[in-house]
Structure formats: structure tokens, C-alpha cells
Amino acid sequence: MQAPPYAESVGRRDDGDVTSPPRQELVGAPRLLLVEDEAELAEMLRELLTEEGYAVDVATNGQAGLHRGLVDRYDVVVLDRRLPALDGLDLLGRWRRSGVTTPVLLLSALGNPAERVEGLDAGAEDYLTKPFDVDELLARLRALLRRHLDHAHVLPLPAGRLDVDAREVLGVGAPIGLSERECELLTTLAGRPQRVFGRDDLLALVFPDASNPVAVDTYVHYLRRKLGRGVIETIRGRGYRIGRCPP
């Protein structure tokens, strides 16, 4: 069967434009990708999930879903298992091998225990059998989302918060993009807010290729320049700690 090589999008379409303003409003609206080929079900779920406050994108075949998940960032995915163009389990395997860690709820008509195990083994976080109760779907999505956020993909900062996956600081006006190293340094510090990290610790943790702790100081400087002096505290004679008060 020839599948339509497209994904429909609801809400916003600003692929590739990571600095565009909508990003921030979406901090409050979790981004959800729905990969479902049954048009009626897809439409029903899209309406339901949009009403529930999700920013929903819909992909109607496996290839389109794969592409979406690779180029865009989502907070949670609802993935049908039987899809044209690319099977749901294959799609999921490809995402996981590409480092996509977004939690996935797999939808399937196949409900026997072996199928369920197969789905979870492929990297799904949860599994729901069709036909399903929409309240159960919504409850499970909320649980997935909560666990996902608890896993420190978003860390509080003295001002705003760090979206680790997006490498952006949010909640302080326009999103502020960070380089990979800046983000790693800030993630390390913000992940353990009580701890004072010595320069040598940070060098080993964040700059394994560098030998001089000046690299640490340099990146602390970059971060303070972008985010304000107070984002990182210097603890004299000991090292650095994430800041305690807004800069």
C-alpha cells in the first residue's frame, strides 16, 4: 500500500527555527507526537489531546513519524504499532539507536503478554491495547510526562530553568541557547545544587579531553556572560557551585 509521505502538523510549524518565540509558550504546553494511520482515530485523539493542553503533531505513517521524531523535540509520543511505510517497533528501534529518549506510549491491537513484552523491549515506556479508554490514555500520558521531567531534563536555575535536551535556558525572556560544553557544565552544577565542585572535578567531568582547569574557568565565564554573574557562585579556595539567587 502506498502511504502518503507527509506528516500533518497542528499548532505550529517552525521546524528548523529554534530561536523562534513559540518555543517558550510551549514550555507550558507539552509537545506530543501522535503517529497513527487510522484517520478517524488520529483525528479523535488529536482533538482530545489538544483539548487536554498538548501541542499535538500528527504523523500518518511510520516514515513521517520517524522523521518527525528525529528532527523535532517532543515531550511524549503516542505511537501506533501497525503502521504503513515503517512498523512502529522498527521506528522505535531507530529512534532509540539515534539517541531519541522521548518517552513513548505504544498503541496496539495486539494485546497478548508476549506482544507487550516485545513492545517494551523495543524501548517503549508504556503499552496500551486498542480499544482503550481515553481516560486511561490521558492518565498514562500524564504519568509518562511526569517521569520524563523528573529525570532531570529540565533543571531549575537561579533564574529560569535549563532544558537539557534543547540546550536552552528558558523563563528569562527569549530562550538562551548554550553550546554543548556550556550545557554540560551547567547541567553538572545544577544537577547537584548543594555541592561545591572543585575545578579538577569539573575538568574531569565536563572536559575530559582538556588538561588545564583554565578550561573550566573559561566556560564559567561564558555562562556568566550569557546568563548573569549569579548563575554560578565562586566558592573561594574550593571551586564552583550553582548560584543561589537570581543574578
199 forms part of the interface with Ca ion (CB under 5 A): no
HSE (side-chain half, CA atoms, 13 Å) at 246: 5
82 forms part of the interface with Ca ion (CB under 5 A): yes
Is the separation of the CB atoms in 174 and 17 below 8 Å?
no
12 forms part of the interface with Ca ion (CB under 5 A): no
| Amino acid residing at 230 | G
Gap between the Cα atoms of 145 and 11, Å rounded: 20
Identify the residue whose cell numbers are 557544565: 185
Report, in Å, the least distance between residue 109 CB and Ca ion. Answer: 8
126 forms part of the interface with Ca ion (CB under 5 A): no
80 forms part of the interface with Ca ion (CB under 5 A): yes
Report, in Å, the least distance between residue 88 CB and Ca ion. Answer: 8
130 forms part of the interface with Ca ion (CB under 5 A): no
Task: State the residue number with the nearest CB to Ca ion.
Answer: 82
Contact stretch for Ca ion (CB under 5 A) within 4-12, 74-82, 184-192, 222-230: 74-82
Quickly count: other Cβ atoms within 10 Å of residue 238's Cβ: 11
| Amino acid residing at 220 | V
Gap between the Cα atoms of 187 and 183, Å rounded: 6
108 forms part of the interface with Ca ion (CB under 5 A): no
Q: Which of residues 21-40 bind Ca ion (CB under 5 A)?
A: 37
Report, in Å, the least distance between residue 84 CB and Ca ion. Answer: 8
